Structure 1
């Protein structure tokens, strides 16, 4: 959350001339409502099921840059589906994440103390992100252009 996934994905797509797809947008289109409303109306478990299906579909249907929601890789099925793909973990620290997401409006997992929730989410998720990623990029104090440039360089070096 607040790492810049959607913004950086757009920069990568522009550079490589590829389409960009965001699974949170896919879920919203399918459900007919924003992610925050899905959490409130249907619960996190329902959202996560939609997320697993959206990532699986996107990996089959889309041949470009894919931006996943921050919790997408928590599902073992998604972790397995991502094997063999280039997966970039945009690492963000608590201070930068809190600055970027503000008070968390529209982010149901941040209800309450935003800083404490971000810290808890990062602690829980970082080991999974690291395990799934083929490339990890530190985004702290960096612009989306800087982050995208590093990803481009590292992907093209490994090609």
Structure 2
């Protein structure tokens, strides 16, 4: 049995604010653990047949969140994988309960100024449209951090390279599973 066998026994769900690296770190984590990778946002787009900005524009955030909840519930029925969620997914009480019961949840946390710099490079984030990224992230942090704090594992990522963050996640999850065997 290799040292990652225990980590591969359950789905690993990454939560955190936009720009923290849930998708990019998640892909590398999945590769390191030899698990499939799933991105909830991409799965929502595939299920809806349209982009997230289009869903927000045409149907609104509430419709997006309901679709996101259904997609995550479906994904959590699949065999173990690494799941990157959208930044607001863990806010939904039903989704949060499903994630906590069917996976190991990992909150990736980074300095808000680092995140603001990262998200400013992309135009595909509907919650930032026409707004100051740092102000949006500060408001989201105030609203979301109490919920993210319910994650099983918290990893402060800083501005480290993705492979460093992957190592931090593996170490934190290993410690968590030693303290909380399932």
TM-score above 0.5: yes
Instruction: Give runs of aligned pairs for residues 2-151 of structure 1, distance below 5 A.
Output: 2-84=19-101, 85-102=103-120, 105-111=123-129, 112-131=131-150, 133-151=151-169
Instruction: Tell me the distance in 2 between the aligned counterparts of 1:38 and 1:134.
Output: 31
Q: What's the CA shift string for 1:97-122, capped at 9, x where partnerless?
A: 11111155111111222221111111
Whose helix fraction is larger, Structure 1's or Structure 2's?
A: 1
Secondary structure of the residue aligned to 1:120 is helix
The offset of 1:155, in angstroms, is 1.9
RMSD (CA atoms): 1.3
The residue aligned with 1:153 is 171
Instruction: Tell me the distance in 1 between the aligned counterparts of 2:25 and 2:68.
Output: 20
Instruction: Tell me the distance in 1 between the aligned counterparts of 2:79 and 2:56.
Output: 26
How many residue pairs were aligned?
A: 158
Instruction: Tell me the distance in 1 between the aligned counterparts of 2:109 and 2:94.
Output: 22
Cα 1:153/1:103, change in 2 over 3 Å: closer
Please report the TM-score for the alignment, with normalisation by the length of structure 1: 0.94
Instruction: Tell me the distance in 2 between the aligned counterparts of 1:95 and 1:26.
Output: 29
Secondary structure of the residue aligned to 1:83 is helix
